[in-house]
Structure 1
Amino acid sequence: MAIAKTIEPDQDHTHPVVELRVRATPDQLSVLRALAATVAIHEDFDLDSIADIKLAMDEICTQLIVRATPDAVLVCRLQYLDGTLRVAVSSTTTTIDSLGPRSFGWHVLHALTDSVDMRHELDPPSSGFVTTMEFTRVKNGSIL
């Protein structure tokens, strides 16, 4: 039997946000890629951009999954605003090692997106960190 929980919707209807919470496990990657592709298709991104968005989603989720604490959840938020898709994925991680501008994954994300950001906050209950990785993709071009 499935257990359903309600989440209070964002009351700001002018800039809707799609949010999905899933287990931080590799079997959820296809769901997250599909979500990112669906939002990009809905906002009329071109096929190359959609492919890049799917790959970027896969990369940030994989980076978080491999560092996730046991029973961690990935919280994915996607918002399209002013011609830009903004994607933020958060999870509780055990470490912040090898994440960052010098890693191969970071270079991949820079090649696929218009901007990439990451932040960490100490999470005392889990003895880990809440790590959030974000990227943006501008429709029909990039920010210079």
Structure 2
Amino acid sequence: MSAAHRTDDPTSRVELRLAAVADRLPILRAATEAFALVSDLDIDAVTDLKLAVDEACSELMSRASAGAELSCILSCNGDGVRVTASAALSVDADESSLGSGFGWHVLRTLTDEARISHAHAEAGVTVIEFVKRR
């Protein structure tokens, strides 16, 4: 088993925290691609994962409160890669469209499981979590 597949190995998890603005998406895409490649995903799965991260983070960024930070955690286990993206949403953000519509359909098509939850309700933090298996 390679080091990237051991859950106790610090290289099996990467966390990125950056401003929740769209011009940071290329950083997320590049980091996702590198992480997926060292996690032994095939090229099609790497492409799907990059697109899924782009879709999830775009949705959060478009609704994020001014000055919010986006957190994106990539973790690998023997089964595949799990992504957890979160951001504090604006008070007037339309959360009802999260989890529906074309963007959500794309995300669910590209991944093996996906869900949305609300952590730290008082802070308005929304979490999108999904898994891409090998």
Same fold (TM over 0.5): yes
Residue 122 (structure 2) pairs with residue 123 (structure 1): yes
Alignment deviations for residues 100-144 of structure 1 (CA, whole Å, 9 cap, x no partner): 1x32111101110000011014235xxxx10000110001xxxxx
Higher-Rg structure is: 1
Partner of 1:71: 67
Unaligned runs of 5+ in 1: 1-12, 140-144
Report matched runs for 1:46-65 at 5 Å. 46-65=42-61
Q: Secondary structure at the match of 2:46?
A: helix
Residue 12 (structure 2) pairs with residue 14 (structure 1): no
Alignment deviations for residues 10-58 of structure 1 (CA, whole Å, 9 cap, x no partner): xxx7153210100000110000011111111001211111110000000
Q: Superposition RMSD on alpha carbons, in Å?
A: 1.3
Partner of 1:137: 132
Partner of 2:101: 103
User: Given the two structures, how large is their TM-score scaled by the length of structure 2?
Assistant: 0.86
8 Å contact kept, 2:29–2:53: yes
Q: Secondary structure at the match of 2:126?
A: strand
Alignment deviations for residues 69-123 of structure 1 (CA, whole Å, 9 cap, x no partner): 00000011110012220000010002313101x3211110111000001101423
8 Å contact kept, 2:41–2:80: no
Quick check: which one's helix share is greater? 2
User: Given the two structures, how large is their TM-score scaled by the length of structure 1?
Assistant: 0.80
Between the aligned residues of both structures, percent identity stands at 40
Counterpart of 1:137, as a letter, is K
8 Å contact kept, 1:15–1:79: no
- The count of residues paired between Structure 1 and Structure 2 equals 122
Partner of 2:112: 114
Partner of 2:40: 44
Q: Distance in 2 between matches of 1:28 and 1:104?
A: 22
Q: Which moves more between the two structures, 115-124 or 69-78? A: 115-124
